[in-house]
């Protein structure tokens, strides 16, 4: 049995309610964020029931739902450590609010509609403990709103698993995490929140940013790629529900006006060097200057091509659009070359700096 968090030992309780601690196996808190989530709740609660008894605490964070969400959860979600809290609408602000309530060693975020198996949640915790990870990620399967399988969607974790040839859980070298974060600034290194696990203390110290609209988890992964210990599990044991966004107008505006990810990762690298997480020699080892130049070239071309695609005429009739598309593809291929060279340099490095050495 994995040990309980200190806050739950010796008969400690959650809030004013004392809990029968012998029910719990995992040092795990679960955050369930909701906002008019009624269409997805029957599936969600059904997905939680097989494993929720493994958790020490469950926090529902509701953002002013008016569709019966809270009534349904109060009637159908059963857990002795269940608490309800409210927070104004705002995706990542609500997540951060829920995480702040958790006292267990690890926290899992369970957005409504996404599911994970009992084996999966146990595997995440066991991997985090055995490898000493702050974040553990895995890949979900995709479902539509009728719970039917959808074709696979390629995410950054696919590249991590394929490039590193992973067949079992593995902790990333800090520079490996930096490389994959830089190559995949259009996606989230964290994968799906429901298929991952976070060390609570880390999340409370480094909350999700709220100025990137619906891409706060992607920005968070870029900002903290080098600072955290990342674990990757190649096995699939969760599902991701593809459905229309519930983002507010302000969140959509924040997304379109957010700093571009090449700027974010440049700023992050400067912070890492200042605080000693990595140093200039580490960055030189992975060809950082060339990688950033290729990343900026790729994002410039992608932005230009996306703009042309939104134009009045079909982009295929525009010779200039074809040239921009070719430039985008060229820069993407260059990034892949730099990625392979950088990973090979990390593998071959016989004298890694103390800052970047894998522990």
pLDDT in tens, 145-193: 988 999 999 999 999 999 999 999 999 999 999 999 999 988 889 998 8
Within a domain: residue 92? yes
Max Cα-Cα span within the chain: 72
Assign 252 a pLDDT band (cuts: 50, 70, 90).
low
Condensed to tens digits (0 to 9), the pLDDT of residues 75-125 reads 999 999 999 999 998 899 999 999 999 999 999 999 999 999 999 999 999
What pLDDT does residue 249 have? 66
Pairwise CA distance, residues 219 & 262, whole Å: 11
- For residue 320, the enclosing domain spans 261-348
Query: Of the ranges 21-25, 242-246, 269-273, which is most confident?
Result: 269-273
Pairwise CA distance, residues 160 & 176, whole Å: 9
Within a domain: residue 357? no
What pLDDT does residue 259 have? 85
Within a domain: residue 206? yes
Within a domain: residue 54? yes
Condensed to tens digits (0 to 9), the pLDDT of residues 294-311 reads 999 999 999 999 999 988
At residue 231, does pLDDT exceed 50? Answer: yes
What phi-psi label fits residue 51: left (phi over 0), alpha (psi between -120 and 50 degrees) or beta? alpha
For residue 179, the domain's CATH number is: 3.90.550.10
Pairwise CA distance, residues 12 & 8, whole Å: 5
What pLDDT does residue 16 have? 30
The count of domains in the chain is 2
> pTM for this structure?
0.89
What pLDDT does residue 358 have? 54
**Residues 197 and 284 reside in one and the same domain:** no
**Residues 191 and 266 reside in one and the same domain:** no
What pLDDT does residue 48 have? 96
**Residues 51 and 84 reside in one and the same domain:** yes
Q: Which of 222, 256, 290 is the last residue of a domain?
A: 256
What pLDDT does residue 246 have? 67
Exposed/middle/buried for 330, CB within 10 Å: 0-12, 13-18, 19+? middle
**Residues 233 and 296 reside in one and the same domain:** no
């Amino acid at each position: 049995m994995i040990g309980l968090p200190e806050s739950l030992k010796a008969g400690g309780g959650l809030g004013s309610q004392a809990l029968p601690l012998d029910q719990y196996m995992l040092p795990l808190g679960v955050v369930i964020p909701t906002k008019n989530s009624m269409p997805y709740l029957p599936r969600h609660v059904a997905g939680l029931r097989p494993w929720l008894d493994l958790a020490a605490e469950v926090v529902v964070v509701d953002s002013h739902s008016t569709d019966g969400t809270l009534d349904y959860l109060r009637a159908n979600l059963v857990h002795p450590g269940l608490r309800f809290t409210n927070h104004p609408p705002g995706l990542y602000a609500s997540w951060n609010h829920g995480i702040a309530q958790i006292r267990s060693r690890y926290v899992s975020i369970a957005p409504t509609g996404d599911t994970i198996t009992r084996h999966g949640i146990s595997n995440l915790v066991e991997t985090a403990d055995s490898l000493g990870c702050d974040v553990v990620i895995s890949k979900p399967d995709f479902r539509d709103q009728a719970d039917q399988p959808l074709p696979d969607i390629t995410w950054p974790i696919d590249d991590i698993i394929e490039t590193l040839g992973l067949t079992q859980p593995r902790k990333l070298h800090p520079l490996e995490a930096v490389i994959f974060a830089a190559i995949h600034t259009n996606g989230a290194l964290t994968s799906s929140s429901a298929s991952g696990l976070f060390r609570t203390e880390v999340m409370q110290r480094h909350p999700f940013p709220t100025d990137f609209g619906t891409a706060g988890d992607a920005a968070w992964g870029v900002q903290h790629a080098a600072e955290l210990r990342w674990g990757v599990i190649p096995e699939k044991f969760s599902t991701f529900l593809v459905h229309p966004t519930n983002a507010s107008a302000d969140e959509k505006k924040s997304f379109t006006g957010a700093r571009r990810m090449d700027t974010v990762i440049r700023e992050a690298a400067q912070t890492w060097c200042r605080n000693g997480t990595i140093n200039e020699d580490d960055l030189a080892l992975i060809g950082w200057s060339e990688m950033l130049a290729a990343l900026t070239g790729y994002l410039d071309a992608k932005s230009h091509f996306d703009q042309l695609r939104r134009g009045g005429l079909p982009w295929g009739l525009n010779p200039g659009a074809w040239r921009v598309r070719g430039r985008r593809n060229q820069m993407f291929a260059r990034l892949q070359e730099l990625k392979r060279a950088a990973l090979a340099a990390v593998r071959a490095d016989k004298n890694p700096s103390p800052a970047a050495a894998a522990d």
